[in-house]
């Protein structure tokens, strides 16, 4: 089959909500296309833990970058038969380099702290170096995560991230629905349909669908 669309969810710093974003985005894209697989490339295997109850609509593959040569890892990824692959990347430079080398778009979650902003800037440095060695383009999308846009911290985070020179996605809030989704082993749409968390993930999926002209099998309602 043709090469899949590869969506990386990556950050040099752990604890920024990578797995939540990867699983819930994969669930939304699979709901629309029916062609998604998620690769857990982090040795902590958080996405695999999320999938353990068996309630996700898409498969999760445990394929970390730490226990095998990178060339072998890439070949194994290429053999996974899905139209769309979402990769939950480990927070280290080796994993980032491997994933960014084959990704079409990278999503970088960033929480409202100075450490997260610094880590995002460093991750973007790796993104730009990888771009220089590729023939195909690599799109980067910064995702403000666990943000209350009504607070001064939320406003300041958006302002600081805008200075990093990459596209900025609408913010994802700190929502209890994401906690319930993990506990149930489901995507957020399946546990909290129509909730703010669901709407925010659908908005993020909209960006991906439009950017790569993906064909959706479900009609999405118009949102203001």
Whether residue 218 lies inside any domain: the answer is no
Burial 84-115 (b: 16+ CB within 10 A, else e): bbbbbbbbeeebbebbbebbbbbbbbbbbeee
pLDDT of residue 2: 67
Convert the pLDDT of each residue in 196-219 to its tens digit.
999 999 999 999 999 998 877 766
pTM for this entry:
0.93
Is residue 108 classed as helix, strand or coil in its secondary structure? strand
Q: What is the CATH number of the domain that holds 199?
A: 3.40.50.300
Count of the separate structural domains present in the chain: 1
Which residue ranges of the chain lie beneath pLDDT 70? 1-2, 218-224
The answer as to whether 224 is a domain residue is: no
Domain presence at residue 3: no
Instruction: Please tell me the predicted confidence (pLDDT) of residue 222.
Output: 52
Range of the domain at 165: 10-208
Residue with tokens 């082993």: 185
Tokens standing for residue 141: 């999308």
Q: What local confidence, expressed as pLDDT, does residue 224 receive?
A: 46
């Amino acid at each position: 089959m043709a090469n899949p669309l590869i969506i990386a969810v990556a950050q040099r710093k752990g604890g920024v909500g990578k797995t939540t974003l990867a699983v819930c985005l994969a669930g939304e894209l699979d709901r629309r296309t029916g062609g998604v697989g998620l690769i857990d490339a982090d040795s902590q295997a958080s996405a695999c833990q999320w999938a353990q109850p068996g309630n996700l609509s898409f498969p999760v593959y445990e394929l970390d970058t730490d226990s095998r040569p990178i060339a072998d890892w890439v070949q194994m990824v290429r053999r996974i038969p899905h139209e769309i692959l979402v990769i939950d990347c480990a927070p280290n430079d080796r994993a980032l380099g491997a994933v960014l080398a084959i990704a079409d778009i990278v999503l970088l979650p960033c929480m409202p702290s100075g450490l997260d902003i610094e880590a995002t800037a460093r991750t973007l440095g790796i993104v730009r170096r990888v771009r220089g060695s590729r023939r195909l383009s690599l799109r980067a999308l910064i995702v403000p995560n666990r943000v209350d846009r009504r607070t001064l911290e939320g406003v300041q985070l958006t302002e600081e991230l805008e200075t990093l020179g990459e596209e900025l996605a609408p913010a994802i809030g700190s929502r209890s629905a994401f906690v319930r989704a993990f506990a149930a082993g489901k995507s957020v749409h399946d546990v909290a349909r129509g909730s703010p968390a669901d709407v925010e993930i659908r908005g993020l999926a909209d960006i991906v669908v439009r950017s790569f002209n993906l064909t959706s099998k479900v009609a999405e309602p118009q949102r203001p």
